[in-house]
Structure 1
Amino acid sequence: MAENEVKQIISQLEAIKPAQLSQAPQLLSRGKLALLHLNALVPTAQTQTPHLLLACHLLEQGALVSIRLGDTDAFTRYFQQLQPFYSLPPERLGNQVPARTGNQSKVTGLYLLLLLSGGDYAGFHTVLEGLETTRGKEQIEQDQFIQYPVRLEQALMEGSYDKVWSETDKKRVPSEEFEKFSEILINTIRSEIASCSERAYPSLPISNAKNLLFLDSEGAVIQFAQARGWIAKDGRIYFPQQEEELAAAERDVMSSTGVVIENTLGYARKLETIV
């Protein structure tokens, strides 16, 4: 009974449409409860092989649905729940590796992209090194879901933001779930470029800012500028923070100059007294 229920829920999740995504968490809760009855929510020595495969499949669907819902915390929990299953030896699963790993690469690649979008480079390399150890470097290099975040990480390390931008094109993204994190990553990079621009320039032409920030139109630049408190006028973007820092620096210089002048005049008066 519980086994059939899990199979039915998996089928519903695989066929779920965007308008029905709100129903997914309830379906997943039912599925995990059924797995508990099968002693399969966490793999044990007593768990039957078919039930292990069902559990892995359901949890993978939970991870993918969480991405589509934009719930990265839930996705992370599902990824962690899947690790004991991914660590099982093939013989424990009746050597049905393809059945077990149908979505393993996709889920793992998504987790790598999540780490990358959050700037967790140490965590990224820890997971990647673990994959190379367990699956072999050659197999990883042929895995499109793993290589996608690897290419992005390499481009980020080189500072080649144009490469990052081209990789996030829909034609190059390996699946729709990856688009979610790609958007987060681009927004993170855009914020970093904006922060550097604020410190480096007092102002920029809007046309230059459009290319620099990988925005689609000058109108998008103006919206982005307003959100950051920049000033857009006369075809340029002005950075108030930079202007304030320049004004403060000028005040410091003027203040220092005044002190120097005052001291110089004082020395002159003393010199006249001595003479």
Structure 2
Amino acid sequence: MANDLRTVVSELHNALSRNQFEAISELLSRGKRALLLQNALIPTPSTPAELIALAREVLELGALASIRQTDAPTFTRYYQQLQPFYDLERDSTNNAGAAAFQNSQRSKITGLYLLLLLSMGDSTSFHTVLEGLVEEASLKGKSVEDDPFIKYPVELERNLMEGSYDKVWRETNSERVPSEEFALFSNVLVGTIRSEIADCSEKAYPSLPISNAKNLLFLESEGAVIEFAQQRGWVLRDGRIYFPVEPESAARSEKDILVASGTIIENAIGYARELETIV
């Protein structure tokens, strides 16, 4: 049975490297059935170290495959299934136990989960997970930011709390993104931020030049701005975007609009001070 699992793990690695998701799905089913027959889907201290390592690796590869498919619910389930394995890893104090976790991707999977929570706006769960990591690291005389997989979402969250959306955008487009999987969730996070900025812009401005909206929304081209505007139902005319006017906002004076605009830009979009006057 262990030989079968080793074969499944090897084939999973190959299929994942080629993004062969149909093959991955079949291999994961085979692997989980084999683990179920050996009562290894939930490990115990008495579970053989080799079986723990194989079981953990099957679930980790499943988690990474779900991210490649941007399937957040499935990734979350794999993350939860992995926690008993990671609990054993954290509590392992002898060499025999530690051998089962030599190739663990715990920090990568955990960092990805933190990034997912950020993209969902779940600050409470983010800090709950992070507090446990901080406590564990401190007991070892380390910092969570010593680990690049954990440091990345922590820095993004810090920038979000400061309203430094420009820093978030630069980080998600830099070479410091830890892996391909992080880049996928980073794109989701930037999309969430872009929607929030769009919501604020609708309330703050009667209209914006398309050229300035490109910078404001972190889009690559004016063509991308036009596509985004059409998706939100904005009116495009004479090189400007005109936002829908709600009855209650129509009565606001120009002074009110300018004050609201200044507040949003200063507090939420720090980089906008570098732009031209856009109202």
| TM bracket (short chain) | 0.7 to 0.9
Structure 2 match to 1:269: none
Q: How does 1:149-168 map onto structure 2 within 5 Å?
A: 149-168=153-172
Percent identity for Structure 1 against Structure 2: 58
Q: 2:3 is aligned with what amino acid?
A: N
Deviations 1:224-275 (A, max 9, x none): 1110010111011000235x5444669xxxxxxxxxxxxxxxxxxxxxxxxx
Are the aligned partners of 1:109 and 1:146 in contact in 2 as well (CA < 8 Å)?
A: yes
Determine whether 1:50 maps to 2:39.
no
Structure 2 match to 1:69: 69
Are the aligned partners of 2:197 and 2:217 in contact in 1 as well (CA < 8 Å)?
A: yes
**Alpha-carbon distance change, 162 to 150 in structure 1, aligned in 2, over 3 angstroms:** same
Unaligned runs of 5+ in 1: 251-275
What TM-score, normalized to structure 2? 0.83
Q: 1:15 is aligned with what amino acid?
A: N
Q: How many Å separate the matches in 1 of 2:45 and 2:162?
A: 47
Q: 2:31 is aligned with what amino acid?
A: G
What TM-score, normalized to structure 1? 0.85
Q: How many Å separate the matches in 1 of 2:151 and 2:208?
A: 36
SS state of the match for residue 12, structure 1? helix
Structure 1 match to 2:200: 196
Indicate the larger mover: 137-146 or 121-130.
137-146
**Alpha-carbon distance change, 97 to 198 in structure 1, aligned in 2, over 3 angstroms:** farther
Structure 2 match to 1:23: 23
TM-superposed CA distance for 1:186, in Å, is: 0.5
SS state of the match for residue 87, structure 1? helix
TM-superposed CA distance for 1:62, in Å, is: 0.9
SS state of the match for residue 214, structure 2? helix
Q: How many Å separate the matches in 1 of 2:202 and 2:57?
A: 47
Higher gyration radius (CA): 1
SS state of the match for residue 20, structure 2? helix
| Total equivalences in the alignment | 248
* Correspondence for 2:228 among 224, 236, 254: 224
SS state of the match for residue 204, structure 1? strand
Q: How many Å separate the matches in 1 of 2:235 and 2:87?
A: 54
Are the aligned partners of 2:49 and 2:100 in contact in 1 as well (CA < 8 Å)?
A: no
Q: Which has the higher contact order (CA 8 A, sep 6+)?
A: 2
* Correspondence for 2:238 among 216, 222, 234: 234
TM-superposed CA distance for 1:22, in Å, is: 2.1
Unaligned runs of 5+ in 2: 254-279
